[in-house]
Amino acid sequence: MAYQFINAIVQQIQPELTAAEAHGMAAGMLCGNQRTTSNFWLSEVFLVADLDNTDDEVLLANLFEETRRLLDSDDFKFDLFLPTETEASLNGQIAALKDWCQGFLAGFGMTVASADCSPEAREILKDIAECTRLDTDSENDANQDENESAFVEVNEYLRAAVILLKHEFSKLPELTVH
């Protein structure tokens, strides 16, 4: 799914939201409680009370279910839903990463059945919170390669961190979230 296409749909439904933030919320909800449904995500994130099967809502529900599938996969193919370098500048990609992290923390907080987590999980959540404060105004071309490299490293760290959180919290007793 192309980021810009999904982002246009998301902003049509909820103008102050980005596709990155919505996807972060989906990933956070699924890490906190793997029984979270796409209908719950749609109702919480987009304030859609009933899924009436419009094409846009079906696409969003498919994004949610694909996120679930990738998080559950043993192939480690899960990735943050962010614009590519052809869709946004590095600053735009960093801004989307910040949005994703904010969404993840919000979604995770909505569905976690227990506040008990390991010191490693607490550290990961702290790191994700730190990512919400990344600088998006670095226009210094001299550091462009460094900034791109750092962005890739942070993105890879977050991918692995989310999978670790999913694994840890999948062992906890779950609440059914409709």
pLDDT in tens, 35-89: 899 989 998 888 765 545 588 888 999 999 999 999 998 888 899 999 999 999 9
Report how far apart, in Å, the C-alpha atoms of 172 and of each of 32, 135, 153 are. 9, 35, 29
For residue 116, the surrounding DSSP H or E stretch is none
pTM: 0.89
Positions of E strands within 43-101: none
How many helices (H) and strands (E) would you count in the chain? Answer: 7, 0
Cα–Cα distance for residue pair 114/173, rounded to 1 Å: 8
Per-residue pLDDT at 50: 53
- Other Cβ atoms within 10 Å of 136 Cβ, number: 15
Q: What is the pLDDT of residues 95-144, one digit of tens each?
A: 999 999 999 999 998 887 556 678 898 899 999 999 999 887 765 555 77
Domains defined for the chain, CATH in brackets? 3-169 (1.20.120.740)
Q: What is the pLDDT of residues 152-169, one digit of tens each?
A: 999 999 999 999 999 888
Per-residue pLDDT at 48: 63
Size (the chain), residues: 178
User: Cα angle at 106 between 43 and 30, to 5 degrees?
Assistant: 70
Q: Are 42 and 57 in contact (CB under 8 A)?
A: yes
Tokens of 174: 């779950």
Report how far apart, in Å, the C-alpha atoms of 143 and of each of 83, 89, 90, 96 are. 21, 14, 12, 20
